[in-house]
Amino acid sequence: MSLELSESDSSPSSDKENLPRKMGSFKLIRKLGEGAMGVVYEAIHEPSGRRAAVKEMTTADLRNTTGYKRWEREIDILKTLKHPNIVRFYANGRSKSVPYLAMELVEGEALDKLLKKRGAFDWRTVAILGAQLCDALHHAHQSKIIHRDLKPSNLMLTGTPQRPILKLADFGIAKALEETGITATGRTVGTAAYMAPEQIAEPDTISHKTDLYSLGIVLYQLVTGELPFNGATYAAMMTLHLKEKPPRASSKAHLPPEFDDLIDQLLSKAPQDRPFDALAVGERLRAIAAMDWKPQEKLPPRATTEVRTRPRPTSTIERAGWNPETIATLGLVVSLVLILSFMLWYIFAPVSTDSLYTQVKAVMDTDNRLAIRDSRFQAKLDELLIRSDLGDRFEQVRSWKDRAMFFEAEDKARTIKIPGQAGSLKRAPSNPIEELYAQTAAEAQRLEADLELEKSAQRWRSMAEQIDAEAPEERGWRALALSEAEKNQAKLQELRQAIDDEMKRARSLIETQSGGVRQAIPIWQNLIEKYWIYPDLRPLLTRGPLQRLVDNGMAPPDIVNRP
């Protein structure tokens, strides 16, 4: 069924540049860009004051059945995906018959624009950003969503130079693996420069590894500033993807051999030859980012020129039977021995505890997960922890070790399959502590789904109590369990504060205004309608001044009943 707009319907083209203007509860204030599926504006959500990016559907797509279905699909997918490296969904709706989608406003620039401005990125930066992109892809793949259109223009860079953050956007042509019928069978969808061979030749067979190929193209382009294939036409580009082997990234840029090999593997023609999943790629990229690698510049070969000279007179040393070349060689050997001795002393000389403490503190102060998880830093931290002259700094160093172990446990936890949770790409628990985590997470998530936040927090605290606080290998898991409990407690506290603020406003109306009871009752009714679904909050909604009003006959009894 096709969608039609009558002449009386408002079209976004008629007033899109008349800014500011309203779209639902959002006020559009500035145009950010325009794409195939709509126009994007910077906007303010007026009730909350929160800034957002609002995409307004174009009239052409609104009239097109396929375009409208893609629009609806992007909304459904964004509602499903909740990850720090994926642009967040806020709301959607219609304004004067025109659909709109409100999303997180990313303060930054798309990578394609940055490539044009500055050229290729440093290999370490690319590895860090690539690892974040892998986290986003793994989250999508766990939900059986294939992006199908990975490219620099869909990747937003925000954060700071010290802590860059990558955001994946535009799921307009993403595909759910079980989905059928939205695109015609056998139809190729995507951007030619980044398409995997199977996406071109057999689009019905795509999998999560299709995104891995596109990821390889993106990494290649970021680190070299060029695409691996440059076809003059759409058809030529597709042929290159299908038949030609791309040149190694190392032929165009300096990068570690491990990074070069990973990109080459991602660009394998056959999906089975690519890495297992985005999670595995992310782990390899994090290891690469932590490497201490420097390029070895190749010197050009020296030119040789024949020079004719007169015979050199024999020196006194030669007449004495010494060969000058032998003398030079002996001098070189002595020099090398002295240099090597100094280097060995420099490398193996013990570092003072104060110096080691300063080095470790500098890294811990950044709270940079990659740096803290680096094996060389871990060795320094472990060395510092056993120093006998730490004095009153021991507890501080131990807390740093706990933080590092927390990061390790958190990274492992993300790879563990939780009972009852969708997704086949995660692994089974490999030891008793991981089995305890999986069981706890399953129960806690069930409680959270029922909005039983206090019980969920208690379940995480119960896990922490079962862990030996003095066992070094278990302390990270204990910290992880307590962190999950604290998240639920913080959420509860936020909700309780919101109720308390509204209760105070209602009491103020009763105490200061004539007819305040009549004005206060809708406030309480709204609180009950909004928060009754939380079992932990019901006592707050059925006690105090509201109940006294019922007891005194000033409010109807059913006001304190569940809506």
| pLDDT on residue 506 | 81
| pLDDT on residue 56 | 87
8 Å CB contact between 404 and 472: no
Among candidate residues 289, 313, 337, the one where a domain is terminated: 289
Report which residue type is found at 497.
Q
CATH of the domain at 36: 3.30.200.20
H/E stretch holding 354 reads helix 353-366
Within this chain, do residues 223 and 265 fall inside the same structural domain, yes or no? yes
Q: Structural domain of residue 259, as residue ranges? A: 109-176+188-289
In a domain, 335, yes or no: no
Mapping DSSP to helix (H, G, I), strand (E, B) and coil, where does residue 304 land?
coil
In a domain, 521, yes or no: yes
Look at the block and give the residue holding tokens 């010290």.
162
Pairing of strands 98-103, 109-110: unpaired
- Across 159-180, b (16+ Cβ under 10 Å) vs e yields eeeeeebbbbbbbbbbbeeeee
Q: What is the pLDDT of residues 212-222, one digit of tens each?
A: 999 999 999 99
| Confidence (pTM) | 0.51
Phi, psi (deg, nearest 5) at residue 375: -65, -35
In a domain, 445, yes or no: yes
Within this chain, do residues 487 and 460 fall inside the same structural domain, yes or no? yes
8 Å CB contact between 281 and 212: yes
Within this chain, do residues 281 and 425 fall inside the same structural domain, yes or no? no
Query: pLDDT below 70 — which residues of the chain?
Result: 1-17, 35-36, 59-67, 171-190, 297-350, 422-425, 542-563
What residues does 319 pair with on adjacent strands? Answer: none
Backbone torsion region of residue 494, taken as left when φ is above 0, otherwise alpha when ψ lies between -120 and 50, otherwise beta: alpha
- CA gap 92, 102 in Å, rounded: 6
Distances (CA, A) of 425 to 11, 242, 272, 435: 44, 27, 15, 17
Within this chain, do residues 235 and 133 fall inside the same structural domain, yes or no? yes
Among candidate residues 103, 129, 157, the one where a domain is terminated: 103
Within this chain, do residues 386 and 512 fall inside the same structural domain, yes or no? no
Asked if the peptide bond before residue 20 counts as cis, ω within 30 degrees of 0, the response is yes
8 Å CB contact between 64 and 19: no
Report which residue type is found at 334.
V
How many of the other CB atoms lie within 10 Å of CB of 92? 20
- CA gap 252, 220 in Å, rounded: 10
Look at the block and give the residue holding tokens 């730490």.
390
In a domain, 389, yes or no: yes
Within this chain, do residues 364 and 428 fall inside the same structural domain, yes or no? yes
Tell me the two tokens of residue 59.
């009239």
8 Å CB contact between 174 and 133: no
In a domain, 542, yes or no: yes
In a domain, 481, yes or no: yes
8 Å CB contact between 42 and 105: yes
What residues does 34 pair with on adjacent strands? Answer: 39
User: In sequence order, what DSSP letters do the residues of 283-299 get, joined into one string?
Assistant: HHHHHHHT------PPP
Distances (CA, A) of 124 to 44, 128, 266, 282: 36, 6, 18, 13
> CA angle 441-443-448, nearest 5°?
90
8 Å CB contact between 423 and 177: no
8 Å CB contact between 53 and 105: yes
Tell me the two tokens of residue 374.
């680096």
| pLDDT on residue 542 | 67
- CA gap 40, 42 in Å, rounded: 7
Q: Is 55 labelled as part of a ligand binding site?
A: yes
HEC profile for 159-183?
Answer: ECCCCEEEEECCCCCCEECCCCCCC
Within this chain, do residues 221 and 170 fall inside the same structural domain, yes or no? yes
H/E stretch holding 503 reads helix 472-512
8 Å CB contact between 375 and 404: no
| pLDDT on residue 189 | 44
Within this chain, do residues 396 and 467 fall inside the same structural domain, yes or no? yes
| Residue 149 annotated as catalytic | yes
In a domain, 57, yes or no: yes
Q: Where are the beta strands (DSSP E) in 64-140?
A: 89-95, 98-103, 109-110
> CA angle 21-26-28, nearest 5°?
40
Of 262, 258, 259, 192, the C-alpha closest to 227 is: 192
8 Å CB contact between 131 and 98: no
Mapping DSSP to helix (H, G, I), strand (E, B) and coil, where does residue 543 land?
coil
Within this chain, do residues 125 and 99 fall inside the same structural domain, yes or no? no
Within this chain, do residues 148 and 276 fall inside the same structural domain, yes or no? yes
Catalytic residue (one of 135, 149, 170, 260): 149
Among candidate residues 80, 103, 126, the one where a domain is terminated: 103
| pLDDT on residue 463 | 93
Within this chain, do residues 240 and 172 fall inside the same structural domain, yes or no? yes
Structure-derived torsion over alpha carbons of residues 516, 517, 519, 525, reported in degrees to the nearest 10:
150
Total of domains in the chain = 4
Burial class (CB in 10 A: 0-12, 13-18, 19+), 430: exposed
Within this chain, do residues 163 and 225 fall inside the same structural domain, yes or no? yes
- CA gap 429, 416 in Å, rounded: 6
Phi, psi (deg, nearest 5) at residue 229: -125, 140
| pLDDT on residue 333 | 63
N- to C-terminal Cα separation, the chain: 38
| pLDDT on residue 63 | 62
